[in-house]
Amino acid sequence: MGVASVASDVLAGLDEVRSWQEDFYRDLHRHPELSHREHDTAAKVARWLAAAGYEVHEGVGGTGVVGTLRAGEGPTVLLRADMDALPVREDTGLPYASTVTARGADDVEGPVAHACGHDMHVTALLGAAELLAGARDRWQGTVVALFQPAEETGDGARAMLDDDLAGLIRTPDVALAQHVLPAPAGQVGTRSGPVLSAADSMRVTVYGRGGHGSTPQATVDPVVLAAMVVVRLQTLVSRETPPGETAVLTVGSIQAGSKSNIIPDRAVLQLNLRTYSEQARHALLEGVRRIVTAECTASGSPAEPDFELFDRFPLTSNDPAATRLVADAFGEFFGDRAGTMGRQTASEDFSDIPDALGVPYTYWGFGGVDPDTYAAAAEAGRIAQDIPVNHSPAFAPVLQPTCDTGTRALVAAALAWLAPDG
């Protein structure tokens, strides 16, 4: 009996699940919560899992929730969804758009929105969890439904691990996760090997000698120094990274000075680097240090620069065998709506969990854009201009068929291990 046949049996209850899923999604979308503050979201998830018959652990890593459901002997499959939202003002025009504000990490009140689709991830996993619970006679093994906090800050997975996640669950045979993307809704895509980049943020402080703007000869201007650093850093990708290697370097912030006629004594740059291999990661990080240090020397800086790494995300590199099983299940179940996902220069901390547990994993994407809207943008050559991407104030998945697709994908992927002949 194939995965598609068992999945069809498990998904026979989707109409009933959909009746609450859509309202649940709208509620989550309307009430987003920032990283490490997903208290209401976690409480709703825990209640739903308990009602579906899962053994529930709350407060894992702060606000994480883990539900376990057993159906006899067999493999253990971990299914993960992230729960946190972003400090973004929503601009979707949806009737259930967020108007929530909250204090961020800087203690400043600001808008909050599910501009990355984590509300869709939570809703799809809850639906899949209920469907699997309602059809335990059709599969064998253990399902671990893991709802993770703080993906956006890159430390939620580690927080759950530090809170003895390994002691709460059976060691999985595989870990699975998905993300909604700006692609046509109804489509799913897998990819073996590196799929999401590693990311490193770095804060660089360069030092000058302050003074009056009328006497620059008596100063070392850190603004000019910072400008030269920004220009030269671009050569790390354009001139030092091999053409076949993907790398991205962004200077997202420069802060210096307070008044037009005062030359400050320092400038602070914030950089973001994205790579797909440890070799490229090391080369880029060392290259930043080399160039900044050299430019400081060239400018006569009175002090050595400071470097601080923060918000580090691991490389997401899908296990080939696990990815092949999921791809085969998707091909059998979704037909021509299943394809290959391109490499994404976004980053995730999901892989911290299976890496720490020593188990294989695979991470796939599913579309969230109205297919007609996407087709019109593609025909006009305006995908970049007309299709909002994750983290955009205008990003919000079309509710259907996105929710159905995410739910079906989790069920089909899990059953690649849990189906009797899986």
- What are 363's strand-pairing partners? 177
Express each pLDDT in 335-365 by its tens digit.
999 999 999 889 999 999 999 999 999 999 9
Quick one: pLDDT at residue 106?
79
DSSP conformation letters of 147-198: EES-TTTT-HHHHHHHTTHHHHSPPPSEEEEEEEEEEETT-EEE-SEEEE-E
Look at residues 316, 401, 293, 309 and name the one whose alpha carbon lies nearest to residue 363: 316
- 275 CB-near residues (< 8 Å, 6+ apart): 197, 198, 246, 247, 281, 284, 315
Residue 144 in tokens? 């671990």
Domain with CATH 3.40.630.10 in the chain: 3-194+315-418
The single residue listed with the structure tokens 């709506």 is 337
116 pLDDT above the threshold of 90: yes
Handedness of CA 345, 325, 121, 312 (dihedral sign): negative
Average pLDDT, stretch 83-103? Answer: 97
Q: What does the pLDDT read at residue 104?
A: 84
Model pLDDT, residue 109: 94
Confidence of residue 138 (pLDDT cuts 50, 70, 90): very high
Task: Give the pLDDT mean for 404-412.
Answer: 98
Give yes or no for a contact between 113 and 89, defined as CB atoms under 8 angstroms apart: yes
pLDDT tens digits for 196-209? 999 999 999 999 99
Instruction: Tell me how long the chain is.
Output: 422
- The mean per-residue pLDDT over the stretch 60-69 comes to 98
Question: Percentage of the chain surpassing pLDDT 90?
Answer: 95
Identify the CATH number of the domain defined by range 3-194+315-418: 3.40.630.10
Write down the pLDDT at residue 107: 83
Do 179 and 117 meet the contact criterion of CB atoms below 8 Å apart?
A: yes
**CA 179 to CA 246: how far, in whole Å?**
21
Contact 245, 280 (CB under 8 A): yes
Contacts of 180 (CB under 8 A, 6+ apart): 117, 120, 121, 365, 366, 367, 368, 390, 397, 402, 406
Question: Which DSSP string corresponds to 210-279?
Answer: -EETT-GGGSB-HHHHHHHHHHHHTHHHHTTS-TTS-EEEEEEEEE--SSTTEE-SEEEEEEEEEESSHH
Q: What is the mean pLDDT of the chain?
A: 96
Tell me if 75 sits within 8 A of 418, measured CB to CB: yes
Confidence of residue 225 (pLDDT cuts 50, 70, 90): very high
Per-residue pLDDT tens digits for 254-266: 999 999 999 999 9
Q: CA 288 to CA 164: how far, in whole Å?
A: 36
CB 206 within 8 A of CB 250: no
CATH 3.30.70.360 in the chain: give the residue spans: 198-313
Whether 98 and 110 have beta carbons less than 8 Å apart is answered as no
Tell me the mean pLDDT in the region 231-260: 95
Q: Examine the pLDDT at 35 and tell me if it is beyond 70.
A: yes
Is pTM, for the whole model, over 0.85?
yes
| CATH of segment(s) 198-313 | 3.30.70.360
Q: In this predicted model, what pLDDT tens digit does every residue of 208-219 receive, in sequence order?
A: 999 999 999 999
**Can you give the pLDDT at residue 62?**
98
Q: C-alpha angle 150/155/160, rounded to 5°?
A: 85
Q: What is the pLDDT of residue 1?
A: 57
- Tens-place pLDDT, residues 301-318: 999 999 999 989 999 999
Whether the pLDDT of residue 2 is over 90: the answer is no
CB under 8 Å, gap of 24 or more: what pairs does 41-50 form? 41/83, 41/122, 42/83, 42/147, 42/149, 45/83, 45/122, 45/126, 45/147, 48/24, 48/126, 48/129, 48/130, 49/126, 49/129, 49/145
